[in-house]
Structure 1
Amino acid sequence: MQFTGKSVIITGAGKGIGRATAQLMASRGADVVAISRTKTDLDSLGERCRGIVADLSDPAEARHAMAEAGTADLLVNCAGTNVLESLTDMTDAGYDTVMNINLRTALICAQAFARTRIAAGGGGAIVNVTSIAGHRGFDQHVVYAASKAGLEGATRVMARELGPHGIRVVALAPTVTLTELAAAAWSDPAKKDPMMARHPMGKFAEAEDVARSIGLLLSDDAALITGAVLPLDGGFLAV
């Protein structure tokens, strides 16, 4: 799947899944607009990636970044964060941090993207990166789960509203993805082994696995996939 002549905006492009997606899309010919809060991460992405430094937790900065990004063919909402808190320990600060980035930012970016696509005559695609945490209960993930389930619900509404303009919207729900931070968090066998046993494929995802699936969903090969929530979970949700 090649994307020569296409442009893609990727949020959270400095690290993890977002970074892997930016590198993949650039390698397949796309012109990438990479949004992250860390300039050094953006500078190291390469020449096909135009970096925009922004703190997407601030709605004004998110809107400014999307305005600077301009009109693109594709959008990947990949910016995300988590604060590990149980329901009984949940704080206002933790709630605001997670919901602002994982849900509000994604909606702001999708809104700006959709407006420019409609003004340009329609067409295009959005991939919202969610999580299996929106489908199964994990300790200390109450707000994270709510944010990802909320984004999946919003994905269905976006698909309905934007479909008449030729814009597809899909959610991709990965399992544990071994980014740098996650690899450390899941290194303890007492935590890792019971979770791994629930994966029929016997492995977690790598950031590159998620990036390739995003590329598939953005491509013309997925021309009739919209409004769907697709697990990337090695069979976790099936058993």
Structure 2
Amino acid sequence: MQLNFSGLRALVTGAGKGIGRDTVKALHASGASVVAVSRTDADLVSLSKECPGIEAVCVDLGNWEATEQALGRVGAVDLLVNNAAVVLMQPFLEITKETFDRSFNVNLRSVVQVSQIVARGMIARGVPGSIVNISSMVAHVTYPNLITYSSTKSAMTMLTKAMAMELGPHKIRVNAVNPTVVMTPMGKAYWSDPHKAKVILDRIPLGRFAEVENVVDAILFLLSDRSGMTTGSALPVEGGFLAT
């Protein structure tokens, strides 16, 4: 999707790989100044070579104090994409405190913290803004061993609505994108087994998983003025899975 974000500054978390990385590249190509946040320095180094001029911030968003130190003075941000997440698979009876805490700290608590930092800046500057939270299809359906991850994404649905309600009077829109399996390198590796993939594909009317660009296009649309009357919504990018 070709949109012009010239003159705007965007912050993308989980920017080192997959959806986050391609979102940074798309925003950079569309004229935005981009702050790329990842916990893996090597990913940021390679991304900076692909997108000269981006600002790289290396921090583990699961650490509240480190995140505050790294982003507390990030400066003016007009667009925010909360993409960082961990997927820690365990069956319900084996979920550990460490898995639960890590999942919620990164997948949900960091969304609150980073969004607070960015939204306070928008309000102080008196400017409108757009926030997009990257959720998942599993916010609405269950899948074996993904209970903790699914719970974080389900909670994000209500968090997105609540943020939209409270930030709307400040002209800050907040939406979510809910993809199915996405063909990132990790997605391709995990779902390369046709028997495993068939369980999901049989329920997708379009008969395929999402490509990264499908999700990035949805993110850019929600960040842009073309969705200027949309807030508190969750945009499915799942080929009709939820309709079956």
TM band (smaller chain):
over 0.9
Deviations 1:160-198 (A, max 9, x none): 000000000001101011222221111111110121111
What is residue 236 of structure 1 aligned with on the other side?
Answer: 241
User: Within the alignment, does 1:187 sit opposite 2:192 as a pair?
Assistant: yes
Q: 2:12·2:82 contact (CA, 8 Å) conserved in 1? A: yes
* Match of residue 227, structure 1, among 218, 224, 232: 232
What is residue 170 of structure 2 aligned with on the other side?
Answer: 165
State the secondary structure of the residue aligned to 1:113.
Answer: helix
* Match of residue 126, structure 2, among 121, 134, 151: 121
User: Within the alignment, does 1:214 sit opposite 2:216 as a pair?
Assistant: no
CA distance in 1, matches of 2:100, 2:141: 19
Q: 1:202·1:234 contact (CA, 8 Å) conserved in 2? A: yes
Q: 1:8·1:74 contact (CA, 8 Å) conserved in 2? A: yes
Deviations 1:39-70 (A, max 9, x none): 22112222142101111110112222222422
Q: 2:76·2:122 contact (CA, 8 Å) conserved in 1? A: yes
> For residues 236 and 116 of structure 1, do their structure 2 counterparts lie closer, same or farther at Cα, with a shift above 3 Å needed?
same
State the secondary structure of the residue aligned to 2:209.
Answer: coil
Give the drift of 1:15. Answer: 0.5
Amino acid at match of 1:104: R
CA distance in 2, matches of 1:215, 1:21: 8
Question: Map of 1:31-46 to 2, 5 A cutoff?
Answer: 31-45=33-47, 46=51
User: Within the alignment, does 1:6 sit opposite 2:8 as a pair?
Assistant: yes
* Match of residue 88, structure 1, among 84, 90, 93: 93
TM-score between both structures, scaled by the size of structure 2: 0.95
What is residue 138 of structure 1 aligned with on the other side?
Answer: 143
Structure 2 residues without counterparts, runs of 5 or longer:
none
Q: 2:218·2:235 contact (CA, 8 Å) conserved in 1? A: no
Question: Map of 1:73-84 to 2, 5 A cutoff?
Answer: 73-84=78-89
Percent identity over paired residues: 41
Amino acid at match of 1:227: G
Q: Which runs of 4+ in 1 moved over 3 A?
A: none
What is residue 64 of structure 1 aligned with on the other side?
Answer: 69
CA distance in 1, matches of 2:184, 2:240: 20
Amino acid at match of 1:37: R
CA distance in 1, matches of 2:114, 2:216: 19
TM-score between both structures, scaled by the size of structure 1: 0.97
CA distance in 2, matches of 1:50, 1:80: 20
Amino acid at match of 2:187: A
Q: 1:9·1:69 contact (CA, 8 Å) conserved in 2? A: no
Q: 2:38·2:57 contact (CA, 8 Å) conserved in 1? A: yes
CA distance in 2, matches of 1:51, 1:70: 14
* Match of residue 152, structure 1, among 147, 152, 157: 157
CA distance in 2, matches of 1:10, 1:192: 29
What is residue 175 of structure 1 aligned with on the other side?
Answer: 180
Structure 1 residues without counterparts, runs of 5 or longer:
none
Name the count of aligned residue pairs: 239
Amino acid at match of 2:100: Y
State the secondary structure of the residue aligned to 2:71.
Answer: helix
Amino acid at match of 1:77: N
CA distance in 2, matches of 1:98, 1:183: 22
Alignment RMSD, CA only? 1.0
CA distance in 1, matches of 2:132, 2:85: 14
